[in-house]
Structure 1
Amino acid sequence: MSNAVWEALAATPLQEVLRRAVVVDDLAEVAPVTVPGARRLAWNDGGGQSAVWYFAEDGRALLLTFDHESELNLYAEEEFALQESFYEGVPAPLVDLVRDRPENYESLNLTDPESGRTIHYAGGAFWYDGTRWHVADGLADHCGREGLDLFGESGFDYCLDVYRLGRDFTPEAVVADRDEDGCYEDEKEKEADLPVVREVFARHGRGR
């Protein structure tokens, strides 16, 4: 499975992935969510795309991505069974982190019409076993059957761009990306943002 961002994620130690997730969560001003047994960190672009990380206490991790314009957006259709199938192959304790949990900005619930149980929607489901990352079997199977670009349709590439995996992750690089995205009205605003971003990096220098 060849994808530059996937390969960069696979090559990045989990502690460094955690550090980047902590910094991005802070920069995105995402409200903390309490999840028993794991640390949840997230990013959203304010327009319907998101990345949500669960770093479990046992050293495993779950990553969910979402692109609201994707063929993998099942929320509008309320397709609970299909959404649940995307998590097939993910260990049950990791799936439990998103099952029957309160909704939040990045993760709304789909509800089983028969049992009333809920699960967080996600276009992409990926997990880390303590050694390496995996694509959820159910997601891979669905994309294979439907002929879908798994990394593109899941929002994986777009949603993980902000973490700069495989690239320098510094305040200067973050500000440069923001400038390229048109986030600043002028050079003065850009210069004013740099010390703010530097302070966030300094606060989380060890990924804590």
Structure 2
Amino acid sequence: MFNESWPWKRDLAAAADRLEEARLGLAHRLEFGDGDDAYEQETEAVYQVERDVMSGAFAARRLIGMPSKVTKRARATKAVVTRFPLRGDVSAPDTWDALDDLEMYDMDARRDVSISANEMCNLFVHSLIFRLAWTLEGLSWANYWALPADDPRCEAMPTEVSGLLVATDKSSSQHLTLVSVVELVRVFRILANDEVSQVISRRDHQGRVHVTAE
């Protein structure tokens, strides 16, 4: 258990702010990397996004797991994500496949689903696949991916981090999940800004204490 939750909530809110800025700002940072250390600059910029996603997911999951730190309403938060099923004629990806082009998933059979915030965070904490999903500003990632090869927009450098493509070693055998940056930021902020006004505890018939925050 966290000793105090407010520093974690503070940093979770800061991570959400940085991720919101990176949605359109990361491409700008990568564009102006130059000189002998350009590769290091680009690596650092992408790492900072990865760090905020992973550390934020850990903090959010931990807060959800502590009934006295966030309210029941916040703990029940849902996230809308997009799933792409594993093709029926291929095996689930291994560690090396996860670094490749992910063609084992059917991107044309996408399905939007609502999952718990805890399940969303688990995808990142236990991720086998973790990939930035780039697009052109204002164009959904699914539509960007589906552009025909002769579309001139395919030649343009992507300008927006639409979301994260993620799967765990278990979920990868069923589907790949796209979590939009907008949705991830929304969930992080709900938990970061949640304020507990009272903590109610009760004992069940076996003498175990159950805590609920409101």
Q: Shorter chain as normaliser: what TM range?
A: under 0.3
Normalised by the length of structure 2, the TM-score is 0.27
Q: Which has the larger radius of gyration?
A: 2
Instruction: Give 1 or 2: higher helix fraction.
Output: 2
